[in-house]
Structure 1
Amino acid sequence: MTAPDKNPPATLSDGVVHWLINGTRDERFIDNIFAEMCNRLQQAGIPLKRSTVHILIHHPQWLGARMMWSDGMREAEIARVDFDVRERSEYIGSSANEIHDGAAEVRERLEQDRSLGRKHALYDEMREKGLTDYVAWPLYHTLGKRHLVTFATDRPGGFDDAHVAALKNVLPVLALVSEIRVKNRLARTLLETYVGAHAGELILAGATRRGTGTTVRAAIMICDLRDFTKISDNWPRDDVIDLLNDYFDAMSEPIARHGGEILKFIGDGLLAIFPLSEPNACANLLHAVTEARVAMAALNARNNGTGRAPLNYGIGVHVGDVMYGNIGSSSRLDFTVIGPAVNMASRLEALTKQVGRPVLLSRDFAELVQPKFELERVGKYEVRGFSDPIELFAFQPDTGT
């Protein structure tokens, strides 16, 4: 009886597999590896014309990403995939649909009479571009997660058996290499989603020890929604969630656009900082407030059309030194800012109800933006936790509403 051959038969892609294993450890991004892999497959004699990788990613705004390489490209094109893609014609009946439903392979010989093949716009599009053969396979990650990789050629007669064997040969290694990068990207995305981009970078760089932090001079902004308890008691749960999300969108997007960092959402409030190390930080904060007020006015107009009462809010702004770092228990940390300056911003936000102004600024902050911004002096007020009265200024931007 002949012993089985322990060495798999050589394929055209053996050199590419060796490079994927040994030559990609210093490359951080999977799209760069993917594009280089496709070019190397071409150089190895595989008539590759087009290739894609489709990755499912947990992200609050999109379902996944598609990387596409075509002949002559040094870099892959990346497109985000929306959550509702599975309800659209571009997905229904596609190779991605078949693979995600459990198919082990989708092969479409594009040279054959199209009446005999699969019916989907993707295949018609590839025929029009002169492609002759197309194959799609699952890309398996840990715990049964299935992604998708596709290859297409314009070679007359399509891929031959040696080409197909070579392409299959790269799949297990591509799966390992891509999973590492995708999980790294996922970790970064989740940190950006939950703690912000800057804090996420610090955590990934190793800033995870309790009590560690730095002193940062920053403008601090605290915003809070009015009458939220009454709203949450009287509105259906899903309506309350939608309302909060719309409110946070209106407030958060201008903050991010103008260089602010949202450190946390606290129930119906948020805490954001604008580090003074960045140019025009205080002015940028007021630009963000102006745009947020416009967005809130538009949100209230939409809500009014559905019979909902307008949403009111208060914003307190101060400037000072804050401790920026890790605080918490031995097993659960929060990356945040603390200090008297944060307490002052919180007190000013609370005072907006008493003073009757939606945006209150401390004198320390006002001095950094006057006379560029027109502010209203509203007088000195006792502030809980501070011994001396604080001079307050109101900011009432012209929002055009």
Structure 2
Amino acid sequence: MQLSSPPVSALATETGSWPSRRHAIIDWLVSETRGQRFIDNLFVELCERLRAAGVPVARAGMFFRVQHPQWVGASMLWKKGATEAELDTYEAGSFDGKDYTNSPIKAVHRDGAEIRRRLRDPLPAPRHFPIFDELEAQGYTEYVAWPLDHTLDRRHVVTFAADGEDGFGEEGYALLRDLVPVLALVSEIRLKNRFARTLLETYVGPHASAEILAGAITRGSGATVGAAIMICDLRDFTRISEAWPRDDVIELLNGYFDAISEPIEKHGGEILKFIGDGLLAIFPLDQPDACRNLLRAVAEGQKAMAALNEDHVAKGREPLSYGVGIHVGDVMYGNIGSRKRLDFTVIGPAVNTAARLETLTKTVKRQVLLSKTFAEMAGCQRMLESLGAYPLRGHGEPVEVFAFFSDRCRADEMAEQAALEATA
């Protein structure tokens, strides 16, 4: 049986009006989904409810343009029988490829109009997309795509494909079309929630963002926590920033921060702030192996910086130098600032000691300095070189300071050895 299909252009209609008919699925979307935080889970349940109601949805997708430091887009794709949606993200430049440029997704993004195609129709369509042939070969019978228009003119896309002999049928198609404005509302709420979390994670880190979203937004609120503290600072940055072109300076900083930061995050540390050309990170002691994880992060950061410096030298630039101060102790972790502008950070004598150790690296000409307190807690004291006791501003007594036997010392191997000895 062949399905007739009106021209796509004749089916391009606005979908912004509220549904004209009540339906149990629309009522569910409006009134019963408040407890579902994640749009992918909600979308899977929607598709399952549609099939249970007799609408032969066998494939469905949502395609979002997103504001994220790494990605420009995200998608979720559900297929009949799946209990979860397939999630994917798209980096900058993804929308330049032919898969997107020759797709109904781009057409809906651009025109804001519905696209409907009955896939078995032998009649030519005004706009034909390669995915129509792919879907027909996979046994689908009808395809429809609509814009999901959010506030501030942000447009996303939802698509459905049917496996029924008659496609969706006019009743099923009408229900899907009525769902679109409701789905736009519920998806916008959840997308904005995700966007808010992404922004907070990007600017203050995952733990601090979770605290803030949980309501820790009162000035002075916070808690005392034990933490291994790491402060890193780039050397000669003032001279470099004055001598280099602006874009080169930004590229340098980004490369340096990538080299130091990615190992910190990989090993469970949290970067609380970037301060010019420096950073402050903590490894909470309530996490297993926090001190040795900090050593592993330092070791991988050293390797990454060595690779970065090889690239700099190959380009005729001077290698970058940096200093790291490491200490451990109790810190106050919470909100500090003015009534209208707050910073979620850590303060306390332990942070000051890490900062003083980082500054001392300039004097003793060692790349990484560790306090005796940290070395003892990490179990690596005997594998370090004692440089003696140094007076540090804010300390009544001189502090014994340790360093690796050379700046090429394998801090990661030291961490593993200390871990083995701790369990012996």
TM-score of the two chains, using structure 1 as the length reference = 0.93
Mapping of residues 241-390 of structure 1, within 5 Å: 241-371=250-380, 374-390=383-399
1:282–1:365 Cα contact (<8 Å) kept: yes
Q: Structure 1 residue 234: deviation in Å?
A: 1.2
Q: 1:145-179 deviations in whole A, cap 9, x for unaligned?
A: 11100011123343332222110111111111111
Q: Structure 1 residue 313: deviation in Å?
A: 0.5
2:19–2:179 Cα contact (<8 Å) kept: no
Q: What is the aligned-residue RMSD (CA, Å)?
A: 1.9
Q: Secondary structure at the match of 1:45?
A: coil
1:90–1:121 Cα contact (<8 Å) kept: no
Deviating more after overlay: 358-367 vs 387-396 = 387-396
1:383–1:390 Cα contact (<8 Å) kept: yes
Q: 1:196-229 deviations in whole A, cap 9, x for unaligned?
A: 1111111111111101111111111000011111
Counterpart of 1:39 (choices 32, 35, 48) is: 48
Give the whole-Å Cα distance in 2 for the aligned partners of 1:176 and 1:225: 47
Q: Structure 1 residue 64: deviation in Å?
A: 2.3
Q: Which amino acid aligns with 2:372?
A: R
Q: Which amino acid aligns with 2:323?
A: G
Q: Which amino acid aligns with 1:186?
A: F
Q: Which amino acid aligns with 2:114?
A: E
Q: Secondary structure at the match of 2:265?
A: helix
The alpha-carbon distance between structure 1 residues 360 and 152, as it changes in their structure 2 partners (threshold 3 A), is same
Q: Structure 1 residue 120: deviation in Å?
A: 4.1
Mapping of residues 193-204 of structure 1, within 5 Å: 193-204=202-213
Q: Structure 1 residue 51: deviation in Å?
A: 0.5
Q: Structure 1 residue 117: deviation in Å?
A: 6.6
Give the whole-Å Cα distance in 1 for the aligned partners of 2:345 and 2:79: 45
Structure 1: tracts of 5 or more residues without a match:
1-6
The alpha-carbon distance between structure 1 residues 372 and 77, as it changes in their structure 2 partners (threshold 3 A), is farther
Q: Equivalent pairs: percent with the same residue?
A: 57
1:293–1:399 Cα contact (<8 Å) kept: no
Q: Structure 1 residue 133: deviation in Å?
A: 1.6
Q: Secondary structure at the match of 1:316?
A: strand
The residue aligned with 1:83 is: 92
Give the whole-Å Cα distance in 1 for the aligned partners of 2:385 and 2:126: 72
Give the whole-Å Cα distance in 1 for the aligned partners of 2:89 and 2:197: 17
The residue aligned with 2:27 is: 18
Q: Which amino acid aligns with 1:94?
A: S
The alpha-carbon distance between structure 1 residues 283 and 8, as it changes in their structure 2 partners (threshold 3 A), is closer
2:298–2:411 Cα contact (<8 Å) kept: no
The residue aligned with 1:67 is: 76
The residue aligned with 1:398 is: 410
Structure 2: tracts of 5 or more residues without a match:
1-17, 413-424
Query: In the alignment, is residue 50 of structure 1 matched against residue 59 of structure 2?
Result: yes
Give the whole-Å Cα distance in 2 for the aligned partners of 1:372 and 1:114: 79
Give the whole-Å Cα distance in 2 for the aligned partners of 1:264 and 1:214: 18
The residue aligned with 1:186 is: 195
Give the whole-Å Cα distance in 1 for the aligned partners of 2:153 and 2:410: 55
Q: Which amino acid aligns with 1:370?
A: G
2:102–2:129 Cα contact (<8 Å) kept: yes
Mapping of residues 79-228 of structure 1, within 5 Å: 79-113=88-122, 118=127, 120-228=129-237
Deviating more after overlay: 155-164 vs 341-350 = 155-164
Give the whole-Å Cα distance in 2 for the aligned partners of 1:371 and 1:158: 68
Give the whole-Å Cα distance in 2 for the aligned partners of 1:399 and 1:379: 20
2:222–2:334 Cα contact (<8 Å) kept: yes
The alpha-carbon distance between structure 1 residues 372 and 110, as it changes in their structure 2 partners (threshold 3 A), is farther
Q: Secondary structure at the match of 2:148?
A: strand
Q: Secondary structure at the match of 1:308?
A: coil
Q: Structure 1 residue 306: deviation in Å?
A: 1.9
Q: Secondary structure at the match of 1:91?
A: helix
The alpha-carbon distance between structure 1 residues 36 and 273, as it changes in their structure 2 partners (threshold 3 A), is same
1:108–1:118 Cα contact (<8 Å) kept: no
